């Protein structure tokens, strides 16, 4: 098997499209009223599925975390430590929720965390000083 992409299940498709397109720069050509959206970032397919549509398709209900949730993370890399700080400040200014300010970890990575409108965690980091 080959990993082709990954997806998340969303409640407010319009808000999520705007966040990933306008705040994080994911490539997208979908309107905000669609039920399933295919985004692309650096050659990786990223899918947004409408929760109700997915449940209808599968014929079952699912449980979803509320608030900022720690089940998964999306990891984005930038070129160096200074870029981590810039990316954090820029995404917060554009509406991302801050979870952890930029920090240099003992293992040598400078990293920070933000959350999308539905509470999914996004890490922005670099190992290059």
Q: What is the pLDDT along the chain (129 residues), one digit of tens a residue?
A: 988 888 999 999 999 999 999 999 999 866 667 778 989 898 889 999 999 999 999 999 999 989 999 889 999 999 999 999 999 999 999 999 999 999 999 999 999 999 999 999 999 999 999
Q: How many domains, the chain?
A: 2
Domain assignment of residue 66, yes or no = no
Buried-exposed string 74-100: b where 16+ CB fall within 10 A, e elsewhere: bebebeebebbbebbeebeeeebeebe
Question: How is residue 58 written in tokens?
Answer: 């599968």
* Rg of the chain over all Cα atoms, to the nearest angstrom: 15
Residue appearing with tokens 């990316």: 87
d(CA 33, CA 15): 10
The CATH number of whichever domain residue 119 belongs to comes to: 3.10.180.10
Domain assignment of residue 41, yes or no = yes
For residues 85 and 115, membership in a common domain is answered with yes
Enclosing domain of residue 21: 5-58
For residues 36 and 81, membership in a common domain is answered with no
For residues 77 and 48, membership in a common domain is answered with no
């Amino acid at each position: 098997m080959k990993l082709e992409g990954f997806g998340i299940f969303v409640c407010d498709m319009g808000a999520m499209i705007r966040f990933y397109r306008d705040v994080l720069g994911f490539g997208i050509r979908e309107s905000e009223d669609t039920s399933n959206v295919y985004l692309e970032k650096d050659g990786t397919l990223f899918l947004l599925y409408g929760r109700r549509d997915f449940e209808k398709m599968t014929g079952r209900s699912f449980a979803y975390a509320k608030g900022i949730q720690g089940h998964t993370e999306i990891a984005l890399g930038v070129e160096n430590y200074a870029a981590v700080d810039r990316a954090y400040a820029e995404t917060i200014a554009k509406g991302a929720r801050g979870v952890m300010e930029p920090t240099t970890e003992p293992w040598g990575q400078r990293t920070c965390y933000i959350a999308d409108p539905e509470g999914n965690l996004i890490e922005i980091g670099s190992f290059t000083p």
